[in-house]
């Protein structure tokens, strides 16, 4: 019979979900931000700026959700805390990267 605690599986799922969402957020925000910065330098961002902003903001929101899930996995008492800490860190990094790109484009 399986002797594992069902609460441990739930907290591990929180940590992994936060990590996956945070990785996706950082990757999308980085890619969209790179496209936006290059578009500003080339002068071609005029037509697609709104689309890049909406997609970048949505990706940053994924980072917020990933950070919340990573923090929740830390609070729930997960045994391997590295997954939760990494998800929390990458989620915050995705949001900060979004605001950095906004300031680089606007300034």
- Residue 47 exposed, middle or buried by CB count within 10 Å (0-12, 13-18, 19+): exposed
Domain spans of the chain? Answer: 24-106
Put simply, whether the predicted model's pTM sits higher than 0.85 gets the answer no
pLDDT, tens digit, for every residue of 2-42?
A: 455 555 555 578 888 989 999 999 999 999 999 999 988 88
Tokens of 68: 């919340």
Distance CA 80, CA 66 (A): 17
93 pLDDT more than 90: yes
If you write DSSP's letter for every residue of 34-72 in order, what string do you get? HHHHHHHHHT--TTTHHHHHHHHHHHHHHHHHHHHHHHH
Stretch among 32-41, 68-77, 78-87 having the lowest mean pLDDT = 78-87
């Amino acid at each position: 019979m399986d002797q594992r605690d069902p609460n441990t599986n739930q907290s591990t799922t929180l940590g992994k979900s936060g990590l996956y969402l945070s990785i996706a957020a950082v990757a999308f925000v980085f890619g969209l931000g790179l496209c936006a910065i290059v578009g500003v330098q080339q002068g071609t961002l005029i037509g697609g700026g709104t689309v890049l902003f909406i997609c970048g903001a949505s990706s940053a929101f994924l980072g917020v959700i990933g950070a919340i899930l990573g923090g929740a996995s830390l609070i729930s008492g997960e045994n391997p805390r590295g997954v939760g800490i990494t998800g929390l860190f990458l989620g915050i990094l995705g949001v900060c990267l979004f605001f950095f790109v906004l300031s680089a484009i606007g300034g």
